[in-house]
Amino acid sequence: MLIEVNPENPQARLVKKVVETLERGGVIAYPTDTYYGIGCDIMNKKAIQKIYQLKRMDPKQPFSFICSNLKNISDYAKVSNYAYKTMKRLLPGPYTFILEGSKLVPKIMLTNRKMAGIRVPDHPIPLAIVEGLGNPIISTTAATPEGEVFYDASLIHDFFGQRIDIVIDGGPVPGVPSSVISLQNDEPEVIREGLGDIRIFE
């Protein structure tokens, strides 16, 4: 199902429809401040496995996930004073921060070192969905198993068909990945340079 949602002021009834789909274990595609993403409720193991199959990814490679704000991040990760101050300056924004996951995070979402990739995108649609769901959602780029990235919601809908329950058309996205920053042990390390400005870490 392809639905159009206002990217600046998401319609409450449509957000509710998406949230209800996630609560039933559904998989969605949605816009962010970088790419279109594919996601589900991080608490639904079957839905997570479905996304691994969709993208033909190695289950040992954990997904990032989206929180709605800094307070929400502190529920799912161990946030030091340094990490808090750093993220407060940059979020919401096109960054993925690598932090040690809390006990709330399902093991499938963590690396062997119990680290998790967490995003708070500067985009009203995914933030409204997470807020409505009450849990974070998976964040993985909407792409073919071969790595071809989709920048248009209708193309995602055409490619995946009924394998994705709802594709949200929120208009154009930048089409550049997030910058990935590890804040492990309060020692910032740039893992990937993307849309987010990394000069403060240099």
Predicted pLDDT of residue 168: 98
pLDDT of residue 108: 85
User: Which pair of structure tokens corresponds to residue 55?
Assistant: 């993208």
Q: What's the CA gap between 160 and 142, in Å, rounded?
A: 10
Is 138 strand, coil or helix? strand
Q: Which amino acid is at 9?
A: N
Diameter of the chain measured on Cα atoms:
45
Q: What is the pLDDT of residue 14?
A: 98
Strand pairing partners for 138?
Answer: 65
* Token digits of residue 23: 């609560």
Nearest to 160 by CA among 11, 5, 37: 37
What is the 3-class SS of 147-175, one letter each residue? Answer: CCECCCHHHHHHHHHHHCCEEEECCCCCC
Q: What is the pLDDT of residues 110-124, one digit of tens each?
A: 888 899 999 999 999
Q: How many CB atoms lie within 10 A of CB 12?
A: 10
Residue 61 pLDDT: 87
**Residue 193 has which token pair?**
């340079």
Using DSSP's 3-state secondary structure scheme, residue 72 falls into: helix
Q: What is the pLDDT of residue 172?
A: 94
Per-residue pLDDT, 191: 95
pLDDT at 59: 81
Question: Would you state the pLDDT for residue 60?
Answer: 83
Can you give the pLDDT at residue 176?
94
Cβ(114)–Cβ(105) under 8 Å? no
Per-position pLDDT tens, the chain of length 202: 999 999 999 999 999 999 999 999 999 999 999 999 999 999 999 999 999 999 998 888 889 999 999 999 999 999 999 999 999 999 999 999 999 999 999 988 888 889 999 999 999 999 999 999 999 999 999 999 898 999 999 999 999 999 999 999 999 999 999 999 999 999 999 999 999 999 988 8
pLDDT of residue 111: 86
Taking the C-alpha atoms of residue 196 and residue 51, their distance in angstroms, rounded to an integer, is: 26
